[in-house]
Amino acid sequence: MATPKKPPVPRAKADDYSEDAAQARRDFAREQTGADLTHASHYSIDPASVRGNVENFFGAAQVPIGLAGPLLIHGEHARGEFYVPLATTEGTLVASYNRGMRLLAASGGVKTTVVEQFMQRAPVFFFEDARRAREFGAWVESHLDDIRRAAEATSRIAKLSHIEQYAVGPMRYLRFNYTTGDAAGQNMVGKATFAACEWIKSEYPEGARYTLSGGIDTDKKHSQLNTLHSRGRRVIAEAMIPRETIREMMGVDTNTMFRARQASNAGAMLAGSVNNGAHAANGITALFIATGQDVANVAESHAAIVYTQLQDNGDYYWSITLPSLIVATYGGGTGLATQREMLEMLGCYGPGKSDKLAEIIAATVLAGETSLSSAVLAGDWVSSHEELGRNRP
């Protein structure tokens, strides 16, 4: 195989977060790749401001943002009508969410509830056999206060809520659950858990070997564990949509809709899908990019459980539960220039706003569900000149 010959990306000794350093890297990139970087260099963010957000900064991606709304939310934190910025390059996405927001507004709005909040780090401890691992588990349980102290000494914000324990072979997986205020918190819980593990290692009489992640955090990936025990915020959006409203605005009958829901539920079981809804990832991603979230958390955040009921009067109760919505309103990318503006538009910038942001995202997701589901069915209805199944399975 060939050995690499190309030079590393240049770094500035003096100040790597200066415009000069960025320019130097653009020059380097142009030279190495021949690419024109006219647009990538057209940014208004101060290179100094991206320290802690990116290394080897050399430009910015411009992602267009569309405006949807108003979205009427009856949350505990988000209350009133919101205009929602959606950063996307996928045509029809904004229009579709906008349409769903209109439907929900006409239906009286969306109720949103943050049910719980946790952020995890899950080390695994190794022992000689399962019995010793079990003993260790009991010791951890009986030293929870000490462990908490060790963990919480590392941060003003992270609070250790509880530790899940899982036994496999000679191992003990400990899944540390923290609340992290308005930060997403992955880093602070990593630091806290490391401190806790080091304390455990030094104190546990038999000694304890561990690695800081045994793969069940589960960070940057979906797992059933996340669906069960929430990672980030577990948020639920609900609406009661009058039969007439959806018929008029979307051209679909709620009876048809409820019948189709049964097929979607069966389909999710069949496919082994992590979401029995339509396209939560679309709204989540667009809001994540716009507001400076860690967009890779779409991996965890896109899981959902849709639960609906048809009322006797034909109205349609629609809920979506997002078990692992990871959001922040400070730290990470939230302070960057454009991202901050978008958070400000939503009244969500800074401490004390993460629950509000979570509610807005969940409400947006529900809007998208109603819109796309209706579109699929109305298309069918139009094309077939008949309703989807009456008195048929």
Site for a second copy contains 65 (CB under 8 A): yes
Q: Could you say which residues in the range 351-370 bind a second copy, by CB under 8 A?
A: none
Catalytic residue among 81, 90, 141, 203: 90
Supply the minimum distance, in Å, between the C-beta of residue 351 and a second copy: 18
Q: Is the Cβ of residue 303 or residue 327 nearer to a second copy in the bound state?
A: 303
Site for a second copy contains 27 (CB under 8 A): no
Q: Is the Cβ of residue 181 or residue 369 nearer to a second copy in the bound state?
A: 369
Of 18, 23, 161, 213, which one interacts with a second copy (CB under 8 A)?
A: 213
Alpha-carbon distance 6 to 9, whole Å?
A: 9
Supply the minimum distance, in Å, between the C-beta of residue 227 and a second copy: 7
Site for a second copy contains 24 (CB under 8 A): no
Q: Is the Cβ of residue 351 or residue 389 nearer to a second copy in the bound state?
A: 389
Identify which range of 149-157, 215-223, 243-251, 353-361 contacts a second copy by CB under 8 A.
215-223
Site for a second copy contains 13 (CB under 8 A): no
Alpha-carbon distance 147 to 195, whole Å?
A: 9
Q: Is the Cβ of residue 157 or residue 186 nearer to a second copy in the bound state?
A: 186
Between the alpha carbon of residue 378 and those of residues 218, 262, 274, 370, 382, the distances in Å are 38, 17, 25, 12, 6
Query: What 3-state DSSP class applies to 120?
Result: strand
Size of the site for a second copy (CB under 8 A): 188
Of 78, 98, 200, 249, which one interacts with a second copy (CB under 8 A)?
A: 98
Alpha-carbon distance 115 to 319, whole Å?
A: 14
Count the neighbouring beta carbons within 10 Å of the beta carbon of residue 382.
9
Alpha-carbon distance 309 to 315, whole Å?
A: 9
Site for a second copy contains 244 (CB under 8 A): no
Query: What 3-state DSSP class applies to 361?
Result: helix
Q: Are the C-beta atoms of 371 and 282 separated by less than 8 Å?
A: no
Q: Could you say which residues in the range 290-349 bind a second copy, by CB under 8 A?
A: 290, 292, 294-299, 302-303, 305, 307-309, 311-313, 317, 319-321, 332-333, 336-342, 344-347
Site for a second copy contains 39 (CB under 8 A): yes
Identify which range of 68-76, 145-153, 154-162, 241-249 contacts a second copy by CB under 8 A.
68-76
Peptide bond just before 64 cis, omega within 30 deg: no
Supply the minimum distance, in Å, between the C-beta of residue 255 and a second copy: 8
Q: Could you say which residues in the range 182-211 bind a second copy, by CB under 8 A?
A: 194, 198, 201, 209-211
Q: Which of 371, 312, 320 is nearest to 105 (CA)?
A: 371
Q: What is the dihedral of CA 362, 366, 372, 374, to 10 degrees?
A: 180
Burial class (CB in 10 A: 0-12, 13-18, 19+), 278: buried
Between the alpha carbon of residue 176 and those of residues 119, 121, 124, 163, 165, the distances in Å are 8, 5, 11, 5, 9
| Beta pairing class for 316-325 and 305-310 | antiparallel
Site for a second copy contains 218 (CB under 8 A): yes
Identify which range of 111-119, 144-152, 155-163, 353-361 contacts a second copy by CB under 8 A.
111-119
Q: Could you say which residues in the range 136-165 bind a second copy, by CB under 8 A?
A: none
Q: For tokens 């991202």, name the residue.
A: 339
Q: Is the Cβ of residue 302 or residue 356 nearer to a second copy in the bound state?
A: 302
Q: Is the Cβ of residue 116 or residue 146 nearer to a second copy in the bound state?
A: 116
Site for a second copy contains 384 (CB under 8 A): yes
Q: Which two tokens stand for residue 97?
A: 């969410």
Catalytic residue among 128, 312, 385, 386: 385
90 is a catalytic site residue: yes
* The length of the chain, given as a count of residues: 393
Alpha-carbon distance 287 to 166, whole Å?
A: 35
Site for a second copy contains 173 (CB under 8 A): yes
Site for a second copy contains 124 (CB under 8 A): yes
The C-alpha R_g of the chain, in whole angstroms, comes to 24
Site for a second copy contains 382 (CB under 8 A): no
Alpha-carbon distance 49 to 15, whole Å?
A: 12
Known catalytic residues are 90, 294, 385
